Structure 1
Amino acid sequence: MRLPCLSLALSLLLSPAFAQDASTAISPPVEDTGTLAGAPYRIDIPADWNGELVVLAHGFEPVGVARETPWPADPATPMFTSERYAVAQSGYATQGWAVRDAIADSERLRAHFVQRHGQPTKTWMVGMSMGGGIAIASLEQQAAHYDGALSLCGANLPGEVLATELFTSLVAFDALFPPHEGEAGFRLSDPAAPVLDQNTVMDRVDAALPRDPAAAQRLATRLEVSVEALPGTLGLHYLVIRDLIARGGGMPVDNRLVRYTGFGDDDAFNRRVPRYVGDVAAMDYVAAAPALSGRPQKPLVLQYNADDPTINPRFRPVYAQKARDATVVPLTLPDAPGGHCRFSADQVKDAFRVLTGWVESGERPPLR
């Protein structure tokens, strides 16, 4: 990725005149909105600002969703401004699985904050869902600019792992519920098939499942969701894969030699699985969307939801396992009750206090 170079270039653009202490740089309160390199942004600074900045990374926004102008405050914004933190949030230059854009856009916004409002005494990165992975990638790639990061309900998977997992759900559906005769061009996994919107995909899945309830249960069990959640899960996976195909310019997964397990009769299942040749450039693209090294250099706190069908149990330990030998080992908090990103304001504040307390004390806190 180009981000380390981008970070350096932005830092060189900041003259010493702007590298002042934030407490002397503004006359709060402040609401700063606009566009940076095609990405809408918003900055909120409370009247009693404590001098610290939270950069918020939002989650997946389907392509084509209407956007508000100016960029609205994320629902999490008051959770931090009420605690006297300034909040900066980018809308990203593109929609969809905009991870690479989001990392660059968030860094550009952080630099803009410093230039316009002064250097914060501390800077934190916080993300939810897709934004959770963005927060981790930003901390890994731009550690000099951040004191720590919090990933909530995060899609904290290296890009190639995420693409493989999501694609597995699509080929599994196509193997278990093959198209009727004459509909071969409508496999969800087929990159050459017509692009469908999410509702159409969900309708197709919903209509297919009753054809074979036992297969539907096998698919749900393997994907760690309920049968009722399958249409929404597959619809989301389809959107992300299609977006990765568009961004990468080709097939982002090569499954010709993959042997799938856990869907019933493995031999029979693998004979039915559609096979595709991956495009090298597209696979290189997804490997950096995001590229997670598992080597955070600053404190990182992770928290998930116990009943999350989007970030399901097999996804949650992936990053922590990858980072188990890091110089700064991430802390994973106990799962909070509820579905995807269903955190209360107090739960978010508590998780954030774990992070800030870690940094202030210099000691990794024990699990409670």
Structure 2
Amino acid sequence: MLAVCTAVTLLLSPAGPAGADDPGGNEPLPGYTNGTPPLAPLMVDGQPTRVVQGMYRHAAYYLEVPPKWNGELVLWAHGMQGDGKVLKAEAPVGGLRKQFIEEGYAWAASSFPTTGYNVGPAVTSSRDLAEYAATELLGHRPKRTYITGGSMGGHVVARSLEEYPGYYGGALSLCGQVADRRLYDYFLDANLAAQALSGVDAYPAGDDYQTDALPLIEKRLGLTDLKPGENPTTVAGRQYQEMFTELTGGPRPGADAALGIYVQAMLGSGLATSAGHQTQNLTTRYKPTTPVDINPIVERVAPDSWDERNSMELNDMPRVLGKPGVPVMSMHTIDDLLVPLSMQQTYTKRVAAHGQSDLLVNRGIRSAMHCDFSDAELSKAWKDLTSWVERREARGKKVARPAGDDILNRKRVAALTFGCRFTDPEAPATPTSESRKLFPACPKERTHGGG
């Protein structure tokens, strides 16, 4: 539960300064320090990789090149690190770093010049690092550059593809926050729905929210000390559980059970910080409407500025239109309620609206934790992405996409086997992967990569 609370706090943290004032600077911006630790080289066939790290345009970076470089580069965009003032570049997650190197790819990762949820500077910083690597660090320009990232890094990935069309050859998004301000709308929805069903008016949150309002909301909804796998103990709470499931992607395996992992953190952290953002719930239709239809009574909130909300500026939370232009492999844990499946559904609809559905593959993983992927799941997604990109280049743009999950098909998402196809049945047990026990076992023929 501590990890979820921390993650919610990080996602809701205010953004840092807008960006770099000296594009050639090799020092952090005022108030920031570089806390990136040394990165030891990996060994490949008895030879060490070449690791370079330093500062470029006020951001710390890593670059790692294998002994036998295949001429291609992978950019990694890290997730939310909080709103402290220490810059930290991060290596790719799980087994991806090792896989990139062993397959011959060089990779690079920027700390970004600022912290907080500040995607605009991260988009620019990633592109700047790619160019710096291409012109100064690698010896020659890569023949292809991929961009990858997780959580907030998924937002960086999605906007980067639109900000620099054609620059990246393909993208891997992991647990990506790819629906821009819709995520904060969701936090607002979750809190205002709880207030409407409990009869507690606490928006915007006052100083007594944590001590008075929140405990009363939880009591009336039967959510007090709710554990993973448990159901709320009141009628209003059970309706809220169904409503939460609808807000996060619709009925699906494990969704009800996941409520106990997230609800206290969501209600305890989300409301107090939503007010300062360009959030809105004017367009939300809350379901189910029985036994209580809250739509006529729920408090409605408009953004402070529709112009700012809809701006195409490269700001702290820039818009994502859904125009990737290149192949995107996106993997999401299906019952992550911090960055829920509904964000990926929103992005998928936007991509379809721009006629680019042939460029997006979604894969669901049966876990309730944010960014909980095994090395095998990551490996397969990466291999399938690169094979897809290479086949398109060799044979033309009409090659078949890799297999994926139809996350917009409500019936398929609700099926008991949803997420089985790409979930690793032998994922090692870790504290993060404990939530996988909330799911019934998948039929063997429908597990990881099958079918």
- TM superposition score normalised by structure 2: 0.62
2:366 to 320, 331, 337: 337
- Hey, what's the Cα distance between the residues in 2 that align with 1:277 and 1:82? 50
- Hey, what's the Cα distance between the residues in 2 that align with 1:38 and 1:194? 37
| Equivalent residue, structure 2, for 1:274 | 299
Gaps of 5+ in 2: 1-18, 24-46, 223-234, 246-254, 393-398, 404-450
1:175 to 172, 180, 196: 196
**Alignment map for 1:120-131 (pairs within 5 Å):** 120-131=142-153
Q: Check if 1:45 corresponds to 2:65.
A: yes
| Equivalent residue, structure 2, for 1:13 | none
Q: CA deviation at 1:44?
A: 1.8
- Hey, what's the Cα distance between the residues in 2 that align with 1:171 and 1:96? 25
Q: Helix, strand or coil: the match of 2:358? A: coil
- Asked if the contact 1:298–1:328 (Cα under 8 Å) also holds between the matched residues in 2, the reply is no
- Asked if the contact 2:182–2:343 (Cα under 8 Å) also holds between the matched residues in 1, the reply is no
Q: Check if 1:59 corresponds to 2:87.
A: no
RMSD between superposed Cα atoms in Å: 3.5
- Hey, what's the Cα distance between the residues in 1 that align with 2:273 and 2:99? 29
Q: Which amino acid aligns with 1:168?
A: D
| Equivalent residue, structure 2, for 1:364 | 400
Q: Which amino acid aligns with 1:209?
A: E
**Alignment map for 1:262-301 (pairs within 5 Å):** 262=287, 264=289, 269-270=294-295, 272-280=297-305, 282-284=308-310, 289-301=317-329
Q: Which amino acid aligns with 2:381?
A: A
Q: Helix, strand or coil: the match of 2:114? A: coil
- Hey, what's the Cα distance between the residues in 2 that align with 1:279 and 1:178? 25
**Alignment map for 1:82-97 (pairs within 5 Å):** 82-97=102-117
2:259 to 211, 227, 241: 227
| Equivalent residue, structure 2, for 1:3 | none
- Asked if the contact 1:30–1:46 (Cα under 8 Å) also holds between the matched residues in 2, the reply is yes
| Equivalent residue, structure 1, for 2:172 | 150
Q: CA deviation at 1:262?
A: 1.8
Q: CA deviation at 1:141?
A: 2.1
| Equivalent residue, structure 1, for 2:444 | none
- Asked if the contact 1:300–1:355 (Cα under 8 Å) also holds between the matched residues in 2, the reply is yes
**Alignment map for 1:60-209 (pairs within 5 Å):** 60-64=80-84, 67=86, 71-76=89-94, 77-118=97-138, 119-157=141-179, 159-177=180-198, 187=202, 189-190=203-204, 193=206, 205=214, 208-209=217-218
- TM superposition score normalised by structure 1: 0.74
More helix by percentage: 1
Gaps of 5+ in 1: 1-5, 11-26, 246-250
Q: Deviations over 1:146-194 (max 9, x none)?
A: 111111221221x243332232123223334465xxxx7xx4x52x856
Aligned length: 321
CA 1:173–1:282 in 2, change beyond 3 Å: closer, same or farther?
Answer: farther
2:379 to 329, 334, 349: 349
